[in-house]
Structure 1
Amino acid sequence: MCHIIGCARGPSLGAAGAGRPEMGRIVEKRYELYCLADPTFYDSPVAGPDDPGFDLAHRTVPGGWARTRQPGTVAYRPVASAPPGEGWKIHVSARVDEAPQVLEKVGQYCLDRELAFTFVRTRPILHLNNAEHAAPGSSGTFIVVYPADEEELDRALAELGDLLAGHRGPAVPGGLRCGGGPLYVRHDPAAEDGRVRFSRQDGAGSADLPEEAFAPPSHVTPPACLLPFMTARDRPPAADVPYRLEKVLRRANGVVVHLASDSRTGEPVLLKEAHPHAGLDGNGTDAVARLSHERQVLERLAGLGVAPELRAYFTLGDRHFLATDFVPGEPLSEVFAARHPLGGAREAELDGYVEWATEICAAVEDAVMKIHMNGLVLGDLGMSAFMVRPDGGVTLVGVGGARPVLEAVGTGLAGSGFGAPAGAVGFDVDRFALACLRFALFLPLTELFLIDRGKAPELAEAICRTFPLKEGFLRPAVRIVGGGETRDAPPLDDWRQMRSSMARAILASATPERADRLFPGDIAQFESGGLGFAHGAAGVLYALHVTGAGRYPDHEEWLLSRALNGARGARPGFYDGAHGIAHTLANLGHHQAALELVDAAGRGRPAAPGTDLYGGLAGIGLNQIYLGELDRALGSAGMAADRLAGGPPGGTGLMHGASGPALLFLRLYEKTGDVQWLDQADRSLRLDLGRCAVQADGSLRVTEGGRVLAGLDRGSVGISWVLGEFLRYRADPELSAARQRLDRAARSLFHRQPGLFTGRAGALAYLCRDRAGGWGLEDPEAGRQLAALSWHSMTYQGHLAFPGEHLLRLSMDLATGTAGVLLAVGAALHGEPVGLPFLSGAITATRPDAAMETSRAEHG
């Protein structure tokens, strides 16, 4: 027998688990915050949720105070004090239903005592931060209070403890609980760029520590006022339990799943640990309530052979534990990812895959039928809910969401990608999910049904064209998902029609009355400002112009005025800042405005950018060549070369790795003829190649943090593109062989995303990189990729549009959405070569032209 707390804990999945299919749902939950405001596009939670926020977010600011609103948070600070720096901070947690009362008490306390504080802006955001599939580091914190010193920390803890007596809240990861109320203390770093980060920033949040562990940095000594709370934390629990923890299998918000062993028999056991007030589902039910409910469901399903057998249920303090038999095998999500034949060069395996997938469908449907016969509806039915055993059978391992048939309703949320629409009730909730499973095992794009259920017949047709399925297999799934809806397929067979349709969709989405964005795109636009090349107006206007879809003076004016007004100290980068905006302006003839913009952005921003193409020296240097500033470009390249001599950058690929600097060095070699730049390109490309590994299909792909990346931005496609440019000037058998393996990644038929940076559009642009012009396709694979864009095609006001990252909403931006697809299709079909800047051929420097130049005075 042993205390369960204090047993050796194995490492959690941590960063190495980032590529596991079930972990993707955590990422999507961050995007769900931006789904609250609009059913069609990602939008800022500040811009349009029905909930205007807690009263303190919009009431009159007291004299002597400054209030700053950010997406999701509101900060109050005395005007006379400096922004909070590194140090001890009080984190106040709260249940969603108690949040208004807690904020009123803490806010008034801080205002009376002139303590800076920050709080989550709305109830829906607080709910999402504490939701079951949110990132664990985002949970718990509702308010952060910033004491000036240890004396003020001691006083605030005592007074707030009395003030909040009786209130409850979820635990704060990495925080030390102080007293019986919802107060936790952490030593946090200073906020970056004035933005408050509620999740852990330092080593105390490392993956091999329990998520509730308090572990301040080694150079920090805890103040005396915290020692009694640290002593209470270290006191072992009184209860003994017969289970020894072996390792953490999964960590989610409010839940930890352990592999354990029964100390009496040595048998493996699965142990689920739930924390109160955290891990909320859509109804506000927390992890403890769901674990208790799961116990009841397992008792009801005992002996059926569809779920693990229950062993024990017990509590230690406020944490609850459920022990079940350990089911050997792998989650269906992981087996599917390993076997799916369209992700690599395994398309000859289609017959065998179809046989396996249809058998899995039958096994899952049989298990769900047995559960229905017991009067239960699963509700949260996704691939991760089923374990594929070594014998090929399936066991349901996710029953926490099961409900009696009369209580089951659809939520209309994406969830696992199988979420039933609002209005579905009873067994129809699971029938919708099972229909989605039939689609997802062949084309896992079921999130598209959240935008348009009428997409079902198109996807079914695409599946049947690709896989040798028996007739009728998808017919009932189409009927259930489509709900009788039909849609007119947008044009995908004529370039002029496609260009016109995408342009009309983009223009119809424009919001020139807004200051934060012109075209809806990825959630990144709300961090970078909505102007930039990757996610803002600059990239969209560039794509429209170079593909022949037209120029739009009113929208150019929107970009010009906002870019120049906010230029000083702006981010200098190409895809996220001033140089990308300037590139578009110069491309549109506003050359002088472009020069003014980059000059102003360079002032008042002391931090030197990185070496990358996205926001660093590579993109800046390439645009300096374009703007005719070769001397400055040489300076940027020299700085990048010096930094790369110290080792590879933190990221990988064209946008974030060493291939971006390699592109800069190549273009400087073309300009100067100096072979040193060719040597630098060689060294840089080898840095990125060192981050790649040969896959089972023979392709060479980037491996980063447990993920395998093929996309244009961080993966194989972008590296291959720059490597091909390099091989024009220097023959190298080793690099040529590497490029052939990299090239295979662009030829996979399945791409989960449609966009330019991470999806099919990027592969299409790459395949058409050497096209001489006209209407032909130089690479036969390009035709296949072009046709397969229809898998993701949607409509917006009757025009052709595409979804953004995670497929939960439409996007119009260059990196993730419709403008990027327009550019890629233009690379394949436009009468003149088009594409991303700097990637194909030497850069021709632009110059002011009296016939084209538009003065700043003429444009306000």
Structure 2
Amino acid sequence: MGRIVEKHYELYCLADPTFYDSPLAGPDDPGFELAHRTVPGGWARTRKPGAVAYRPLTATPPGQGWKILISARIEEAPEVLAKVGEHCLERELAFGFVRTRPILHLNNAEHADRGSSGTFITVHPAGEAELETALAELDGILGGHRGPAVPGGLRYGKGPVYVRYDGEEGGAGLSPQDGAGAADRSEPSFTLPSHVTPPAFLLPYMAGHDDPAADVPYRVESVLRRTNGGAVYLATDARTGERVVLKEAHPDAGLDEAGTDAVARLSHERQVLERLAGLGVAPELRAYFTQGSRHYLATNRVTGEPLSEVFASRHPLGGAGEADLEGYVEWATEICATVEDAVMKLHMNGLVLRDLDMSSFIVRPDGGVTVVGLEAAQPVLEATGTGFAGSGFGAPLGTVGFDVDRFALACLRFALFLPLTELFLLDRGKAAELAEAIRRSFPLKEGFLRPAVRIVSGGETRLAPSLDGWRQMRSSMARAILASATPERTDRLFPGDIAQFESGGLGFAHGAAGVLYALHVTGAGRYPDHEEWLLSRALNGARGGRPGFYDGMHGVAHTLANLGHHQAALEVLEAAGRDRPPVQATDLYGGLAGIGLNQIYLGELDKALGTASTLAERLPGQAPGGTGLMYGASGPALLFLRLYEKTGDVQWLDQAEAALRLDLGRCAVQADGSLRVTEGRRVLAGLDRGSVGISWVLGELLRYRADPGLSAARQRLDRAARSLFHRQPGLFTGRAGALAYLCRERAGGWGLEDPEAGRQLAALSWHSMTYQGHLAFPGERLLRLSMDLATGTAGVLLAVGGALHGEPVGLPFLSGAMPASRQDAAAVETSRADRG
């Protein structure tokens, strides 16, 4: 649990209340005038979700090098853009800018991605001489304006003009997700690559570029958190030796939904702390001071741990072993009462906490709690709900006064048992269902959730979507998917994850190909009009497209061949291969492993052997950047196993084992005895990156090679799939992936079923929603519905089909879904012969 939502998901929530959608699809805000006016002669304009870029036709597309970054306050943004845009058009300087005021606001929000914080406009000079001239002229033009600081930028002059050297190549410096396209830089200060010598005209500015925190009377020991608005440090008072928490706020940055900046909020927090002094419910104020333009607040350090961390370590449904449910219920109900008592003290002082979630409370060693993060607290007559579930506890729009906190406290009662409260802003009627699921899983007293259900539901009731009967479930999910289709659009056919907007909505993981595949193989039907949408766009856009399986044209071709469009599948792959450098990645998702497996499916064994040989040479020295089935070495291992089955050559079995050991080397045994992928502080169990995918492929290897050590490792990996709690419902990262894994042997036609599958199938109801009266599921982050294969309803359909369908179904290349039928292979060979 935590209040931070990845900024780009929040951005894609703005355009539609039901699905993630491109900001370009939103009809309410056409953007700044430069975003849609007639393009001057000799210029090209590129519009992406969230950003617009202008480039002279005679200029080389901007790449690595010096960039001028300009910030602006929201209210001054149109004027600043008009001045800078006119100047750049006159001087023929390539430039890009954030497309709308709401997106600029979001980029500068407190918990947004710091990579795009501050930057409103990016200007691309052609060299150092042009850089010097442009900096001087822009500084003169923007005199009198101000804006938030740009992380990693060197301020030039007194205004909102900054300069930075970026070593990354890329377009106009504008990404689909980050309005201004700045690289995600965690360092707060201006730095240069070692090979870059700064021009002489920047040296005076670099000499004056000191750390504003250097002169504060505190020794910083560690950074607890950085945000767009500043930072929180653990520090020691150099005068007294007392350890304190030191908060830093930057002006014009870290905006909240009302546009209030971090400095104003920190000043407000000072007033709140003074108001609560001596009550024992909040930290004690030690100091408030300024250093330059930055403001600082110091409080005593409260001993304890955030409730979010205590909860994560104690929650019993995340493991596969026996859990002390009664002990957990006793702790959870006590901590809930303690939190409610603390919030009541704020209410008695006329304050509403407002931004309340599990990270808002420190659990002290004495069992009490201290409220932290009071900058959002408001007087009762001013407090309103945000209408957004970024924290999981956000009250709906229209909620006012103490009811804002009452809604959040009701969410806390749910979240301590099933932390899925983001679903409430999609459907408040979901509260009664989750309450029933909690009562079935925990020995709770009858009345504990009753008031929470009443508050969250707001009187809304509905019939829960049925999970009874395969035919009924299949029909309902298919109807939801079909009802969501937008064949009139060119950027997507079915709404899914935000990743679809990076690849045109065609792909197997997040686009039309995966959805049509799932509908077809589960017996939910063929849809010629939608197949034509995929066919026409694949054939028109294949050249230059990504070649990979889950993110590119091999996945599209696989679906086309599966649907009988064999000639088109070959044409798509032929076009996709033109003028492209060889694929370097080794993984299944977008690299050589997926390509090789699809070559086997298409009957091109010689090509698959060549692909696998290249992969085998590359894999030891270029281990995949990720882990697991989709992004690690388990995907290549799957290709090697299928080649062993095809050829009987034991070298492929050796390669498969070696690859799997690479992924196993990135796993660690957890407290519950399971073996899970560890990446820093993250523990991954999902089908795509985690234990479930590795276990699936390792089980395939053990069919051919007995090894006690590997067999023991697989038993520990297997435990991860038996965890009752999954935060996501989807196929790649959630419960549907565990269900598909548990039914793998059934899908393989061996007549065996895992008894755990029934429990996971029933628990899909925790996430089930309705779309136009039909069964649907939320996507990544649970903030919007999704219909795609990797994160949404189509993936759940495929997994449930693996459990209940009369014929073996599943992901391509795994168990019964591989290899291609003889009829398909023969048809592909016939198509190849027909082509000549």
Q: 20, 25, 41: which is aligned to 2:4?
A: 25
Secondary structure of the residue aligned to 1:233 is coil
Partner in structure 2 of residue 230 of structure 1: 206
Task: Render the CA deviation track for 1:403-434: whole Å, top value 9, x for unaligned.
Answer: 01000111211131100000111000000000
- Equivalence for 2:60: 82
* Aligned counterpart in structure 2 of residue 337 of structure 1, from 312, 319, 325: 312
Residues 1:631 and 2:606 aligned together: yes
Deviations 1:53-74 (A, max 9, x none): 1110000000000001111111
TM-score, scaled relative to structure 2: 0.97
Give 1:525-540 correspondences, 5 Å limit.
525-540=500-515
Query: How far, CA to CA, are the matches of 1:193 and 1:467 in structure 2?
Result: 53
Distance of 2:740 and 2:238 partners within structure 1: 58
Q: Which runs of 5+ in 2 are unaligned?
A: none
Cα deviation for residue 49 of structure 1 reads: 4.8
The Cα shift of 1:328 comes to 1.1
Find out whether 1:681 has 2:656 as its counterpart: yes
| SS of residue in 1 equivalent to 2:295 | strand
* Alignment-mate amino acid for residue 289 of structure 2: F
Aligned position for 2:42: 64
CA drift at 1:191: 3.9
AA in 2 matched with 1:409: T
- 2:215 is equivalent to residue 215 of structure 1: no
When residues 624 and 845 of structure 1 are mapped into structure 2, their CA distance, relative to the original with a 3 A threshold, is farther
| More moved, 669-678 vs 557-566 | 669-678
Distance (whole Å) between structure 2 residues aligned to residue 606 and residue 650 of structure 1:
20
Deviations 1:98-140 (A, max 9, x none): 1111111101100000000011111111111111111222201
Cα distance in 2 between the residues matched to 1:317 and 1:583: 60
Partner residue in 1 for 2:285: 310
2:591 to 608, 616, 623: 616
Decide which of 98, 103, 117 is 1:125's aligned counterpart: 103
Amino acid at match of 1:172: V
The farther-off stretch of 247-256 and 716-725 is 247-256
Residues 428 and 457 in structure 2, CA contact (< 8 A), matched pair in contact too: yes
Please report how far the alpha carbon of residue 255 of structure 1 lies from its aligned counterpart in structure 2 after TM superposition. 2.1
Cα deviation per residue 1:469-527 (whole Å; 9 max; x = unaligned)? 11100000000000110111111010000000000000000000000000000000011
Question: What RMSD in Å do the two structures reach over aligned CA positions?
Answer: 2.0
CA distance in 2, matches of 1:330, 1:161: 47
Change (3 A) 1:620 1:335: same
Contact 2:508 2:552 in 1 (8 A): yes
Q: Which residue of 2 aligns with 1:52?
A: 30
Q: Decide which moves more: 553-562 or 765-774.
A: 765-774
Alignment: residue pair count: 829
- Structure 1 spans left out of the alignment, 5+ residues: 1-20
Q: Which amino acid aligns with 2:744?
A: R
The Cα shift of 1:195 comes to 6.2
Q: 1:235 to 1:600 in 2, by over 3 A?
A: closer
Assess if the C-alpha contact under 8 Å between 1:754 and 1:789 holds in 2.
yes
Which residue, 765, 768, 772 being the options, matches 1:797? 772
- Measured against aligned partners, the alpha-carbon deviations of 1:662-686 in whole angstroms (never above 9, x if no partner) come to 0000001111111111110010000
Q: Establish whether residue 665 from structure 1 lines up as the match of residue 640 from structure 2.
A: yes
Matched, 1:112 2:90: yes
Taking structure 1 as reference, are residues 846 and 555 closer, same or farther at Cα in structure 2, changes over 3 Å only?
farther
What residue identity is the alignment partner of 1:459?
Answer: L
Aligned equivalent of 2:14, options 30, 36, 42: 36
CA contact (8 A) 2:56 2:94 kept: yes
User: For residues 437 and 652 of structure 1, what CA distance do their matches in structure 2 show?
Assistant: 33
Shift of 1:851: 8.9
Given residue 159 of structure 2, which amino acid in structure 1 is its aligned partner? G
* Cα deviation code 1:279-307 (max 9, x no counterpart): 11111111111101100100101011000
Alignment partner of 1:263 out of 220, 238, 257: 238
CA distance in 1, matches of 2:170, 2:54: 16
Q: 1:200 to 1:339 in 2, by over 3 A?
A: farther
Greater displacement, 43-52 / 373-382: 43-52
| Matched residue type, 2:191 | A
Distance 1:97 1:200, change over 3 A: closer
Q: Give the 5 Å matches for 1:369-384.
A: 369-384=344-359
Distance 1:246 1:529 in 2: 47
Residue of structure 2 in register with 1:16 after alignment:
none
| Corresponding letter in the other structure for 1:135 | D
Corresponding position: 1:188 with 2:166 = yes
Matched, 1:363 2:338: yes
CA offsets per residue over residues 320-371 of structure 1, 9 Å max, x none? Answer: 1000010011111111011100001354211111111101100100000000
What corresponds to 1:142 in structure 2?
A: 120
Distance across 1 between alignment mates of 2:762 and 2:752:
12
* Mapped partners of 1:723, 1:793: distance in 2: 31
Of 164, 167, 183, the residue aligned with 2:142 is 164
1:399 aligns with 2:374: yes
Distance 1:617 1:318 in 2: 52
- Structure 2 letter corresponding to 1:270: V
Task: Please tell me the residue identity of whatever aligns with 1:255.
Answer: G
Preserved contact between residue 773 and residue 831 of structure 1 (Cα < 8 Å): no
The answer to whether residue 781 in structure 2 is matched with residue 806 in structure 1 is: yes
Residues 846 and 224 of structure 1: is their aligned pair in 2 closer, same or farther, counting only changes over 3 Å?
A: farther
Q: Is the Cα–Cα contact under 8 Å of residues 591 and 853 in structure 1 kept in the other structure?
A: no
- Structure 1 letter corresponding to 2:411: C
Q: Is the 8 Å Cα contact of residues 409 and 423 (structure 1) preserved in structure 2?
A: yes
Q: Does the CA-based 8 Å contact 1:456-1:482 persist in structure 2?
A: yes
Conserved 8 A contact 2:53-2:172: no
Q: Distance in 1 between matches of 2:829 and 2:583?
A: 31
- Are the structure 2 counterparts of residues 236 and 625 from structure 1 closer, same or farther at C-alpha, using a change threshold of 3 Å? closer
Q: Residue 205 of structure 2 aligns to which amino acid in structure 1? A: F
- Measure how far apart 1:224 and its partner are: 1.1
* Pair 1:612–1:199, CA change in 2 (3 A): farther
3-state SS in 1 of match to 2:381? helix
Q: Is the 8 A contact 1:590 1:853 kept in 2?
A: no
* TM-superposition CA deviations, 1:596-651 (whole Å, max 9, x none): 11111111222523000000000000001111111111111111111112142111
Task: Verify: 1:481 aligned to 2:459, yes or no.
Answer: no
Q: Identity across aligned pairs (percent)?
A: 81
